[in-house]
Copies of this chain bind each other. A is one copy, B any other.
Amino acid sequence: MEDGFDFARLAAEIGDRPRTASEFVQRALRAAILDGRIPPGTPLRQEALAAAFDVSRMPVREALRQLEAQALLDFTPHKGAVVAEISAQDQADTYLIRRALEPVAFAQSIPHLTRDDLDRAEDLISDMDREPDHGRLGELNRRFHMSLYARAGSPKLVRLVERQLIEHDRYLRFHLAMLGRDRMSQDDHIAMVKAAAGRDITAAISVLQRHIDVAAEDSARFFN
């Protein structure tokens, strides 16, 4: 294992082993790529992965194909898979897409949010305050945002937004490392829930847009 990364440890960290080995490998790799444990540019050797996960090369190959379709890997025929690079441009694009899509989802969702949805969102804000592990903050942040968009009634749009938030996780790491969690703008999160509870779409959207814009600016300043 001269890759410089300990794949074997990774295998143990997935709690509930899914029904298929392929999915197991896919999840473990995806999580490790998203939170930066496997750095961009790392070549992924099928044999090494198979040994680390204690499966044959076939489920590994299927997992790699799926991750490629999710733009987390670059695949070249007969050469293999490499963890996709991250870049300031890619990060900026992610914010651009979020800025275009999330307000639409939020606006559609607000009228249909239930008291339960809003409570859950507030719980997630508290969870974020308490969570010590930076790696898990990305997931909590994502679930917070998604809880506000859940009632948008546009499943495809919501799935796409979730996908962007997941890809955003690759950059959130840097954001947190450089700015600290006090800059995660929990104030914005609170304001968003409040506006949503009051069914004030205009106010909610405006907070969300500013939230994304500020994050984009912060990140752009510190990335590279």
Q: Measuring CB to CB, which residues of chain A are less than 8 angstroms from any residue of chain B?
A: 19-20, 22-23, 58, 61-62, 65-66, 68-71, 77-78, 89-90, 92-94, 96-97, 100-101, 104, 154-157, 159-160
Integer count of this chain's copies in the complex: 2
Residues of B within 8 A of A22 (CB): 65
Q: Is the CB of A157 within 8 A of B77?
A: no
- A sample of 19 more A-B contacts (CB under 8 A), given A92-B154, A93-B156, A97-B156, is A19-B77, A22-B65, A23-B77, A62-B62, A66-B66, A66-B68, A66-B69, A69-B69, A69-B70, A71-B159, A89-B155, A90-B155, A90-B156, A96-B154, A96-B157, A97-B157, A100-B100, A100-B101, A101-B101
Query: A217 vs B24: C-alpha distance in the bound complex, in angstroms?
Result: 43
Please name all residues of chain B whose beta carbon is closer than 8 Å to the beta carbon of A77 when the two chains form the complex. Answer: 19-20, 23
Min CB gap A9→B, angstroms:
26
Q: List residues of chain B with CB within 8 A of the CB of A19.
A: 77-78
**Contact assessment for B65 and A154 in the assembled complex, using a CB-CB cutoff below 8 Å:** no
Complex Cα distance A96/B154, Å? Answer: 9
**Residue of B with least CB distance to A102:** B100
User: Closest residue of chain B to A94, judged by CB?
Assistant: B156
Q: How far, in whole Å, are A77 and B104 apart by their CA atoms in the complex?
A: 34
A104 contacts which chain B residues (CB < 8 A)? 96, 100
Q: 8 closest A-B pairs (Cβ-Cβ)?
A: A69-B69, A93-B156, A100-B100, A93-B154, A65-B65, A66-B69, A19-B77, A93-B157
- Establish whether residues B61 and A93, one from each chain, have CB atoms under 8 Å apart when the complex forms: no
Q: Inside 8 A of A157's CB, which chain B residues have their CB?
A: 93, 96-97
Q: Are B154 and A89 neighbours in the complex by a CB distance under 8 Å?
A: yes
9 residue pairs of the A-B complex, CB under 8 angstroms, read: A20-B77, A61-B62, A65-B65, A71-B159, A89-B154, A93-B155, A93-B157, A94-B156, A100-B100
